[in-house]
Amino acid sequence: MDNETNQQKRVLIFGATGYIGNAVVAESVRQGYETIAITRSMDRDCDFHGAEVVLADITDPASLAKAFDRKIDIVISCLACHSGMPKDFDDIDYKATLSILNAALENGTEQFILLSAICVRKPDLPLQLAKLKMEDALIRSGIDYTIVRPTAYFWVFEAQHKLIKKGGPGFVIGGGEQAVHNPIAKEDLAEFLIGSIDNSERRNRIHIIGGPETPDNIITYRESLLMAFEALGKEPKIINIPSRAYMALIRATRFVGHLSRKVGVFSEFLHITYYYLHDDMRAPGYGTRTLRDHMLGAEQ
């Protein structure tokens, strides 16, 4: 499909200010679609060059209706609750996204593309359960759908950069080698999502994807920390946190979290982090950008 044909398609993107959503907006514009980026406010510094911006609160039905005040051909949801209590994940990853789906159905939208996550393969956390419920609702809705379950993003492996840059150590759970990843760049994931528009091979299917399956991109978390030290020109200093001690911290903070929301949110964050550092996230490869090139290039 060429750009002239794409201009006849109107794409509505939710979660546009997020790490992935912003890249999806840029890719949609690049491929020539009439692109509408939905955001609750303009406080965040995001580049929506070439896209129309519509302010809408997805938790408010009247506000959400503004996003569907004209014919929408494709809806892409990149919504995700990145931290919070169990209820927060259900409110955003399921209930709010379901409201978008219902609005799309009423609008007569042709295709709904949902950004999910590879971690739903072994559902245990509220985040994963909420995403699975949304996947099921989309599949049952009758609309043409594409569900994408990407592996971990590059930013997961850059989370400790600030500390390392200041001369601090890196931290791993156990030996840091329990899980193998082939992380995916936001640009490659955005290309896959936009490339799923009107793609018969990707219609009504679930796609599990990762980044390139090359030596520079098939890594453990410990190896990613060594890349970070190299990129920042620092001598490697890695502290191993015993798995039992880490799990004890999760249990303790979860208990206190019943009394303090702040502690409860921190406990959920610890649990999600443990999952990503302890379970393999390797997936079929896609794209060309590797974590090593990204890290070394970012510091040059």
**pLDDT tens-digit profile of 132-146?**
999 999 999 999 999
299 vs 257, residue with greater confidence:
257
Separate counts of helices (H) and strands (E) for the chain = 12, 9
In a domain, 168, yes or no: no
Is residue 119 situated within a structural domain? yes
Q: Which domain holds residue 104?
A: 3-152+184-209
Distance CA 240, CA 221 (A): 12
Q: What is the pLDDT of residues 263-298, one digit of tens each?
A: 888 888 888 788 877 788 899 999 999 999 999 885
* pTM for the structure as a whole: 0.90
Assess if residue 140 is contained within a domain.
yes
Residue 109 lies in a domain: yes
pLDDT given at position 300: 45
**pLDDT at site 46:** 64
pLDDT score of 278: 79
Q: What is the mean pLDDT of the chain?
A: 90
The answer to whether residue 68 scores a pLDDT higher than 50 is: yes
Share of the chain above pLDDT 90, in %: 62
pLDDT at 153: 93
228 within domain boundaries: no
**What's the pLDDT score for residue 246?**
87
d(CA 53, CA 224): 36
Alpha helices, DSSP H, located in the chain: 3-6, 19-30, 61-67, 86-89, 97-107, 126-141, 161-165, 186-194, 221-232, 243-256, 261-278, 291-298
Q: What does the block give as tokens for 128? A: 């994963």
**Residue 114, domain CATH:** 3.40.50.720
Is 197 within the bounds of a domain?
Answer: yes
Is residue 277 a part of any domain in this protein?
Answer: no
Domains identified in the chain, total number = 1
State both tokens at 261.
């929301």
Q: Is residue 50 within 8 Å of residue 42, measured between CB atoms?
A: no
Residue 247 lies in a domain: no
